[in-house]
Structure 1
Amino acid sequence: MMMDAGLDNPFWSALQTIHRDLAETRGPVARYPAEYAPFAGVASPDGDCGDALEALTGEGETVYLLGIAPRAVPAGWQLQAFRPLAQMVCDAPLVVTEGPEIIPLTETHRRDVLALTAKVYPHYFRTRTMSLGRYFGIYQDGQLAAMIGERLGTDASREMSAICTHPDFNGRGYARRLTAWLTNDTLARGVQPFLHVSHENPRAKILYEQMGYRVRRDIGFWSLQRG
């Protein structure tokens, strides 16, 4: 499968393509509305981003950058580099384990989705994040037991995101089942599946590798806070 160049600058690329109707853009900087995601992208590390950043962010607000960060930020701003993430891609269909039914998650499930992500995936999921792509889940005993969704992407790629399981249902293989199922659906549409995982979460990284994902590259990750 042809590799998507947009993967090197995922936030900016998504905001210029599949999420351009949501993007708040000023010149070389674009961001998601805060209720969708705390993410911003820059076109180039060498662009003059000062005025655009000032226009797009509020006092004390923090946004996150992935892949590319500006070399220079306005006085009083704090750019903090985190350890790079592993960006992983999948090139061939995966084995989908047997398990409970996978259903699309819609507006009627929003309360359950927000409750689950607040419990086990709290950092970047916002009230409107579900609007960024398709989301799917497994229910057991009337409870959302596990979920997965699409977040970033371009016309040629989609990110597997919010892969999480309620602690009461750990160890049943639900996350593996959801990941393989959505990966295969994405590949069948001729689109490159990818995901990001922290090196501080080696268990998840090993699981994805065992399933059939491979590391494409380590990708820079930063927070940018307005003073």
Structure 2
Amino acid sequence: MDNAIHSALSGPHAHLARRRGNALRYTADMSPFMALPDSPGAADWANLAALAGPGARVTLSGPVPEPPDGWQVEARIPLSQFTGGGIATAPDEEAVRLHEPDVPEMLTLAELTRPGPFLKRTIEMGTYLGIRRNGRLVAMAGERLRVPGWTEISGVCTDPGSRGQGLGTRLLLAVAEGIRERGETPFLHVLASNTSAIRLYESLGFRLRLRTGILALTCPPM
């Protein structure tokens, strides 16, 4: 869980991984995240650079040390990891399973609300549920990282015109219900600066497990 992206790509999401040595990544149209093993060495950094490409943007999360010379740090963003072992999950009668034909609407909703990276193939990472009103997708939530015994909830968002009705919370709890039915425990990540979301998650029973971060880098040019 400390290095959740690497754990996912070397475990339940291995079939989605692109690998070079111990450096791993999702395809660029699925997720921007890449991963290094704990305590990476020079060979691991070289493999990551080869996997990403010269001058490419790399997004890492977890216990990442200072990069070697030639890498340019673009941003360090504090992140909090919460676990939901004690939350009261619940199915939702209005929630519908979203599939590939729904992706254009999902991309539009994500672009409007900015819940975090949601790309053309993100839906392949897990189950996504949505709520429609008058045929239009107004809220969604789904699964992203899968670590042995754990599944991350992500992509929780509601159209601005439908906020204040608790739709996002309902979908979050419905996704968590599906995770719990598989015998797994839900978890999530939230920007440490997003205090309103943190208050909501804590009110639902999520508990802080880890203070971590996102590290955005640019690969060496050659």
Q: What TM-score results when the alignment is normalised by the length of structure 2?
A: 0.91
Q: How far apart in 1 are the matches of 2:147 and 2:45?
A: 26
Residue range with higher mean Cα deviation, 184-193 or 166-175? 184-193
Task: Give the alignment partner of residue 160 of structure 2, picking from 163, 167, 171.
Answer: 167
Secondary structure of the corresponding residue to residue 197 of structure 1: strand
- Pairwise CA distance, 1:185: 2.4
Aligned-residue Cα RMSD (Å) equals 1.9
Pairing 1:60–2:55 present: yes
Q: Is the 8 A contact 1:41 1:68 kept in 2?
A: no
> Once the two structures are superposed, what CA deviation does each residue of 1:165-219 show, in whole Å capped at 9, x if it has no partner?
1111110100110111211221232101000111221111100110111111111
State the partner residue of 1:191.
Answer: 184
State the partner residue of 2:2.
Answer: 8
State the partner residue of 2:203.
Answer: 210
Residue range with higher mean Cα deviation, 148-157 or 62-71? 62-71
Structure 1 alignment gaps of length 5 or more: 1-6
> Once the two structures are superposed, what CA deviation does each residue of 1:90-134 show, in whole Å capped at 9, x if it has no partner?
11341649x761010001211111111111126522111111111
1:40-189 equivalent positions in 2, closer than 5 A: 40-48=34-42, 49-75=44-70, 77-94=71-88, 96=90, 101-121=94-114, 123-189=116-182
Q: How far apart in 2 are the matches of 1:116 and 1:73?
A: 38
Q: Is the 8 A contact 2:142 2:172 kept in 1?
A: no
Pairing 1:24–2:14 present: no
State the partner residue of 2:30.
Answer: 36
Q: What TM-score results when the alignment is normalised by the length of structure 1?
A: 0.89
Structure 2 alignment gaps of length 5 or more: none
Q: How far apart in 1 are the matches of 2:76 and 2:177?
A: 31
Task: Give the alignment partner of residue 216 of structure 2, picking from 212, 219, 223.
Answer: 223
> Once the two structures are superposed, what CA deviation does each residue of 1:42-76 show, in whole Å capped at 9, x if it has no partner?
0123422232022111233212111122433351x
Q: How far apart in 2 are the matches of 1:114 and 1:32?
A: 18
Q: How far apart in 2 are the matches of 1:146 and 1:71?
A: 39
Q: Percent identity?
A: 36
Residue range with higher mean Cα deviation, 125-134 or 181-190? 181-190
Q: Is the 8 A contact 1:134 1:149 kept in 2?
A: yes
Give the number of aligned pairs: 219
Amino acid paired to 1:16: S
Q: How far apart in 2 are the matches of 1:223 and 1:191?
A: 30
Secondary structure of the corresponding residue to residue 14 of structure 2: coil
Q: How far apart in 2 are the matches of 1:123 and 1:181?
A: 19
